[in-house]
Copies of this chain bind each other. A is one copy, B any other.
Amino acid sequence: MYTITPLEKGLENVQGFYCGATNVGMRTNSEDGDVAFIRSEVPSDISAVFTQNKFQAAPIKHFQKYPKNFQTDFVLVNAKNANAMTGEKGVEDIDTLISKLTAKIDVLNPVMASTGVIGYRLPLEKIATAFDTLDFSGKNSDQAARAIMTTDSFKKELAYRVELENEESFHIAAICKGAGMINPAMATMLCFIATDAAVPKEDMDALLAGSTERSFNRISVDGDTSTNDTVLLLANKTSGNYHKEAFKEALEKIMFELAMMILKDGEGANKLVTFEVTGARTEEEARTASVALSNSLLVKTALFGEDPNWGRIASTIGASGIACDDEKLVIHYDDLLIYDAAHRELDKEREKRAYEIMKQASFKVTCDVGMGEGSYTSYGCDLSYEYVKINAEYRT
């Protein structure tokens, strides 16, 4: 028996973690910081999931140079510059920064994460000025969550307390950034999760991979995958308490809720739509169709236009290449039957109800392919004028 309770604020809830941020002048358009840190007072185990993009950014290459199962007590993050496509020099730059950091504070195997524009070297001198102003003993999760934002329109942080029996408890909290370029193969996102649970390293790796598959890998904003996507889980074990099922549930909960926050913050998006495909021959075919739906431009623009045009849903399933048959397909919007072989044309009454469902901030499209037992759910959003505006003007 255990209970999971949401807490106010973020990373400061987790025992033995410090965090904060400062503005070194890379972010010129707001008061928010552009360099953030997360520090543990004792060495932490760390698990990571990185982008599947072949051009991994320098911080990811740098991380992978540490020995397997290394411990760390420091994560440095910067916004505005991705340190991607910067070659071996980009990795050397991180070592240079670390040597400047260690001149100010004693840290163990520090890791770095970056987000921003691709193809420019980090401004090392500028970033190093942060080491004079950051409060390494502060606990300011709000500051850190704001500092890692790029096109995000709101900060993303969550925290939970998990109460076990015998008055034992532990905490898990996270900050996250991500808005556009989200794909069912990770996202332009950074996510830092800290816990004081006494979770064994092997559980960390397995549970982080599983939770990523059921959260960040199921959301789509625009079908692109970035060079920098990173999810880190740090566990300093300071609570001394652990319960595998409870930890798993809390981790899945925090990652799924952060994924939904990213989707709600999809660049210019107004609607969150769940695409459940059932009855496919295999889970893989269900995944193929579900992901095709959440990525389709024609589906996304129909969602934005609140047009109950099920033809685009059906056409996208047909185009995805999975086994299907228009005599067997059944489509629902929420609980409204929108298509089956006996109800092909939308009558006025059903069209009116479909329109009412589509006006909601979130709803569910269910497609039963009727060919087998495979099912998969992914999550998408609409595509608006605002998306085009944000992405046409991103760098300028």
A residues with CB within 8 A of B: 52-56, 82, 84-87, 117-121, 180-181, 183, 185, 222-227, 295-298, 301-302, 304-305, 307, 309-312, 314-319, 321-324, 326-327, 339, 341, 344-346, 383-385, 387-389, 391-396
Q: Which residue of the partner chain, among B82, B224, B387, B393, contacts A316 with CB atoms under 8 Å?
A: B224
A85 to B310, CA, bound (A): 10
Pairs of residues from A and B, 5 with the lowest C-beta to C-beta distance, nearest first = A118-B311, A305-B392, A55-B318, A301-B391, A225-B319
Q: How far is the CB of A98 from chain B (nearest CB, A)?
A: 22
A143 to B257, CA, bound (A): 56
B311, A224: Cβ atoms under 8 Å? no
Given A117-B311, A222-B297, A307-B396; 14 other pairs, CB 8 A cutoff: A54-B323, A55-B324, A84-B311, A85-B326, A87-B326, A119-B311, A180-B298, A224-B296, A226-B315, A301-B388, A301-B392, A307-B393, A384-B388, A385-B389
The count of identical subunits is 2
B53, A319: Cβ atoms under 8 Å? yes
Given A297-B222, A317-B55, A318-B55, A307:B388 Cβ within 8 A: no
A52 to B321, CA, bound (A): 8
- List B contacts of A296 (CB < 8 A): 223-224
Q: Which residue of the partner chain, among B224, B315, B384, contacts A118 with CB atoms under 8 Å?
A: B315
Q: Which residue of the partner chain, among B225, B227, B305, B316, contacts A396 with CB atoms under 8 Å?
A: B305
- List B contacts of A317 (CB < 8 A): 54-55
- List B contacts of A118 (CB < 8 A): 309-312, 314-315
Given A385-B388, A391-B302, A224:B319 Cβ within 8 A: yes
* Shortest Cβ distance from A55 into B: residue: B318
* Shortest Cβ distance from A181 into B: residue: B298
Given A54-B322, A305-B391, A344:B314 Cβ within 8 A: no
Q: How far is the CB of A345 from chain B (nearest CB, A)?
A: 5
